[in-house]
A = this chain, B = another copy of it.
Amino acid sequence: MGAPLPRDPIADAQHNWEERGWSDVAAPMAAITAIMRTQQILLARIESVLKPFGLTFARYELLALLSFARSGALPMNKASALLQVHPTSVTNAVDRLERAGLVARSPHPTDGRTTLIELTSEGRTVAKRATAVLNSEVFGQSGFESADVDQLIRILGSFRRNAGDFTD
């Protein structure tokens, strides 16, 4: 956005919390705020890389999910569950991907309520190329130490499990 700040605004907030006598929750507040900000930074990097492909992160995630499905097709409700987003968000993403010719809707063979989303061959190509660039430009240069990556996976995995994302 702009130039770096002279001080860490989240550390400042943590100090403010402690000064007000909320020391018991100051650290979790700072951690949660840091997660918010980190997500914002990472999302911006990802979207910047995907822009040349005409993709957003939401649409890329759907393409990637489909590309890993054996049949190359998934019911919309399944995609919604796996991506952990609201069904209307999937409808929105599919609308745009379909208009771009990267996926196609088709009726479910036995359940009239269900719509299957299927990768087109162009969709598969775009997914492959976008993934390659994301791997090299974002995931390969995350800025996290290797040991910290393991810590994040452990800590956030535990959090997500406790939050009810999955049972394992």
A residues sitting closer than 8 Å to B (CB atoms) are 1-2, 4-11, 13, 16, 22, 24-25, 27-32, 34-43, 57, 64, 68, 80-86, 135-136, 138-140, 142-146, 148-153, 155-168
Contacts and interface: CB of A to CB of B under 8 A. Distances in A.
Contacts of A158: 148
A145 B38 CA distance: 20
Contact of A34 (B1, B13, B28, B153): B153
Copy number of this protein in the oligomer? 2
Given A24-B140, A149-B27, A163-B143, A156 B84 contact: no
B155 A8 contact: no
A81 B139 CA distance: 27
Interface SS majority for chain A: helix
Contacts of A7: 166, 168
A35 B38 contact: yes
Contact of A1 (B16, B85, B162): B85
